[in-house]
Structure 1
Amino acid sequence: MELTMEQNGKADINSSPHSLGRRELLRNAATLGMGVAVGLQSMREAEAKRKTQSSQQTPLTILNGPPVGPDEIPRRMLGRTGIPISVLGLGGHHLGDVKDVNEAMTLVHEAVDAGINFFDNCWEYHNGRSEDWLGRGLQGRRERVFLMTKVCTHGRSSQLAMQMLEESLRRLQTDHLDLWQVHGVTFDNDPELAYAKGGVLEAFDKAKQQGKVRFVGFTGHKDPSIHLKMLQMGYPFDTVQMPLNPFDASFFSFQHQVVPEALRRGVSPLGMKSMSGTADAIKQGVLTAEEALRYAMSLPVVTTIAGMDSLDVLHQNLRVARGFKPMTPQEMQALESRCAATAADGRYELYKVSLKYDNPEARRPHHYPIDQTQKEVKEMLQEAGGQNKQAH
């Protein structure tokens, strides 16, 4: 049931819906140096080392959970919840791409048994198939995992959110979620719509009061400024999910803008798109899959949610996660530098600069027209499962 928004955003289709919050094209990822003009070289090196350790290692150390064995997946603490979470999480969208339900269930079983305890999903992934298959796979294992799914009101009412919650619980075959997140905070007015009377945050409060949801957060991949607005408006979120990879470090960077603010507020950062969504940079030899995943997991985030659509991919990621040791600051900076030249135009982060990855169901409630003749929109509609029949 679609409900009408009390508030909506309107914009020229030719304009960027997130351009108002952007002030620079590139952010300088290098933060080393003393900031003084004189002194011995050894003093400069010591100050550079201190700054690097302060900005990259200390937050990660704070997040670290209890020690594990050399072949186990390390865990980090989910902020104020006090819950230890595996540094590698299993993404829900790719689960719906597995060839059939039996292989999907096997993948879930192996992931849980290997020590992955964070499971991502979303009400609209593959028209519900991802939630359904995950629910089947977690039978007998539900109490061993931290289960998250996302609500897809896209600016609409708390009533619709509660309907989606009930459907998600049914598909996932559980009576509660460990984490419920707003999906796809994309447009400049999404924060205002979430906070408005009758908005999705009222559903968060109600669901927690009913015991159907333990913790809440929000996600998005379009623009760091929109994430910052969601945080700064003051709702007590537990988590915030965002794309984090070596390209993000120098292009509208969530790492540099959102992660520090989230940590300052006691909100746990969750990483996604460690391979930039399409993995094109890996296919084209800019970096390896292992480098991309190691880099993302070395950031001060609780977990890195990775898409795994086969047992081979699961096993590959497990090899990185077991006994994981973070990259050194020098390794991270070297990888950022290697990726910086091709990061500047967004070619490897299309979710920031194009309609790719934007669901048409998110555009319609905001009264953004959908031009079905454009290649990007055709791909978007196909990904949404043919829901273009209702598009306008």
Structure 2
Amino acid sequence: MHYKQLGKSDLRISEIAFGCMSLGADHAVNARLLHQALDGGINFFDTADLYDKGANEETVGKAFAGMRDKVIIATKVGNQWRPDGSGWDWNPSKNYILQAVEESLRRLQTDYIDLYQLHGGTIDDPIDETIDAFELLRQQGKIRQYGISSIRPNVIREYVKRSNIASVMLQYSLLDRRPEETVLDLLQSQGIGVLARGSLAQGLLAGKAAKPYLGYTSEEVQQAAKAVQSVAGAARPAAEVAVRYTLHHPAVSAAVLGIRTKEQLGEGLQTGKGASLTTTEIKALQHILQANRYEQHR
């Protein structure tokens, strides 16, 4: 497994990160899978208080109880469940963040969170108030670093200008090259790490039947998938090439893969051991389709 510094923070993370959202309800099964990931070299585990109404954090906390110093745990805040459980509302207020972190700490069975992320964000949010909450939590030692999870360039720019974020989690793949236009270079220049999700584009780059995706037609998606398979050849799985494309940009610290099964974990660990794509391979993949661009929130 290869490791990278998360931007200019003090967090050194595996470039394959374990996205915990897909984990099921069986804590024992989850613990075995999470321990196998750790044994395989994955040290970065990403969850959120939103997932399964907090049960996802609980299963991560149970799995790593007594071994907290061996793992880097990231979670998210900002989506507040309604009392009746019918859904959630966006709440990036300082008061809510300070309240929610206590529940996340309890569920995770820890007294600190390595990376606390705002789980969304709009340009109309009380951004300075949100930043104040994260800065206070860092001063209190309840979090080590903070970041945002957002695909909105206008929001990302505001946090770059106004905060000390360590990271931005965003969607990035060969079929979603929107971050390449300006966002990735901006974050790299500021020493802010990128956590890339969606590397496989809902599995479309790893064998799933083609369908329209982010403005691309089914035929174009199929062309991209064929190009990935061509680069992969007989020696590598297509999924490895798709994830390696995501990791090629120097701004990207890790690819966050949703993992639920031993097979998915095995593929992720294999990718973590794999070689980087060559410049020729990257150019061949980029040549297949014109890069898409953000049309909103610019």
Same fold (TM over 0.5): yes
Aligned counterparts of 2:286 and 2:55: Cα–Cα separation in 1: 36
How big is the shift at 1:281?
A: 4.3
Aligned counterparts of 2:34 and 2:287: Cα–Cα separation in 1: 36
How big is the shift at 1:248?
A: 2.1
Conserved 8 A contact 1:247-1:336 = no
| Candidates 265, 268, 273, aligned match of 1:317 | 268
3-state SS of 2:8 partner: helix
Conserved 8 A contact 2:92-2:118 = no
User: Which residue of 1 is the match for residue 124 of structure 2?
Assistant: 189
Gaps of 5+ in 1: 1-72, 347-351, 355-392
Aligned length: 259
How big is the shift at 1:99?
A: 5.7
The answer as to 2:35 corresponding to 1:109 is yes
Cα deviation, 1:261-302, whole Å, max 9, x if unaligned, reads 1121121222111112x2234302524322211111222211
The answer as to 2:94 corresponding to 1:165 is no
Q: How does 1:144-293 map to 2 (within 5 A)?
A: 144-153=70-79, 154-185=90-121, 187-190=122-125, 193-195=126-128, 199-221=129-151, 223-232=152-161, 234-249=162-177, 253-276=178-201, 278-282=202-206, 283-284=208-209, 286=225, 287=228, 288-293=238-243
User: Which residue of 1 is the match for residue 212 of structure 2?
Assistant: none
Aligned counterparts of 2:108 and 2:25: Cα–Cα separation in 1: 19
TM-score scaled by length of structure 1: 0.62
How big is the shift at 1:147?
A: 1.1
Identical-residue share of aligned pairs (%): 29
Aligned counterparts of 2:149 and 2:92: Cα–Cα separation in 1: 16
TM-score scaled by length of structure 2: 0.80
Conserved 8 A contact 1:123-1:151 = yes
Give the aligned residue type for 1:207. Answer: L
How big is the shift at 1:78?
A: 2.2
Aligned counterparts of 1:265 and 1:194: Cα–Cα separation in 2: 19
Gaps of 5+ in 2: 80-89, 210-221, 229-237
Aligned counterparts of 1:135 and 1:255: Cα–Cα separation in 2: 35
Give the aligned residue type for 1:117. Answer: N
* RMSD (Å) for aligned C-alpha atoms: 2.1
Aligned counterparts of 2:7 and 2:66: Cα–Cα separation in 1: 27
Aligned counterparts of 1:217 and 1:107: Cα–Cα separation in 2: 26
Cα deviation, 1:91-136, whole Å, max 9, x if unaligned, reads 12122xx362221111111011111111111111111121111111
| Candidates 1, 4, 7, aligned match of 1:79 | 7
Conserved 8 A contact 1:241-1:272 = yes
3-state SS of 1:136 partner: helix
How big is the shift at 1:201?
A: 1.6
- The structure with more helix, counted as a fraction of residues: 1
Give the aligned residue type for 2:69. Answer: E
How big is the shift at 1:313?
A: 0.3
- Would the alpha carbon gap of residues 256 and 353 (structure 1) be closer, same or farther in structure 2, given more than 3 Å must change? closer
Conserved 8 A contact 2:241-2:277 = no
Give the aligned residue type for 2:203. Answer: A
Cα deviation, 1:312-344, whole Å, max 9, x if unaligned, reads 10011111112x321112211222233x26x75
Structure exhibiting the larger radius of gyration computed from Cα positions = 1
